Amino acid sequence: MKKNLLLAVSLFALALQPTPSAAQSPAELNDLQIAHVAYVADNIDIRYAHLALAISTNPAIHEFARTMIRDHTAVNEQALALLKKLNAQPQDNFLSKQLTANSEKLVDEMSKLRGAEFDKRYAENELAYHKAVNDLVSNAFIPNIENAEVKSLFEAGLKIFKAHEHHAEMMVKAVSK
């Protein structure tokens, strides 16, 4: 039933920017709300990376952080280009707000750390964050995205984020030695 309702949200409706629904679970978000979550999630990781560049003195952490900035910026540019093409605007929602609030707390916490303690916390958070986002994208977003181009972008994004997860695993091992 829910699937039938979601199917009714066609590409045409997407272009018309439907009124945001009061979704309370990730699987209930529409394409434009999902796009907003992804944009926010990208920017959160970019913010963490800038924090790492400001605090860490570890070259490997810097290299990783620069990669996060480069890749997430590239994904966001593609997402914005697609939304422009579809004449659509991303829609703020409960999950975007929740992610932002959580990130604020984490930035506060990590800002107080220095040296190896910061590196370890940053690397561990990168691993946990990418795992959580990948789970969300794989299980809640991609199966429910209606627009084929948006779905394709998320599938491409998932490959990037999985590579980041693997890279973060290597970082966690490296800073835990």
Partner 1 sequence: MIRRSFIGKATAAIAAAAVPSLYLSWAGRASARPRRHRVEINGFRFTPDRLGVSVGDTITWINRDIAPHTATATDGGWNTGELVKDAEASITVISGMQTTYFCAFHPMMKARFSIAATTDQ
Q: Identity (one letter) of the amino acid at 49?
A: A
Q: Which residue, 47 or 167, has its beta carbon nearer to partner 1?
A: 167
Least distance from partner 1 to the Cβ atom of residue 18, Å:
27
174 binds partner 1 (CB under 8 A): no
- Cα–Cα distance for residue pair 162/13, rounded to 1 Å: 31
Dihedral sign of CA atoms 86, 18, 135, 119 in order: positive
42 binds partner 1 (CB under 8 A): no
Question: Do the Cβ atoms of 124 and 170 come closer than 8 Å?
Answer: no
Query: Contact region for partner 1 (CB under 8 A) — 3-11, 28-36, 41-49, 166-174?
Result: 166-174
| Structure tokens that stand for 158 in this block | 């998932």
Question: Do the Cβ atoms of 121 and 113 come closer than 8 Å?
Answer: yes
Least distance from partner 1 to the Cβ atom of residue 99, Å:
21
Query: What burial class does residue 60 get, using C-beta atoms within 10 Å of its C-beta: 0-12 exposed, 13-18 middle, 19+ buried?
Result: middle
DSSP conformation class of 140: I
80 binds partner 1 (CB under 8 A): no
85 binds partner 1 (CB under 8 A): no
Q: Kindly tell me which residue out of 67, 100, 134, 138 binds partner 1, with binding defined by CB under 8 A.
A: 67
Residues 137-156 close enough to bind partner 1 by CB under 8 A: 156
> Which spans of this chain sit near partner 1 (rule: CB under 8 A)?
66-67, 70-71, 74-75, 78, 156-157, 159-160, 163, 166-167, 170
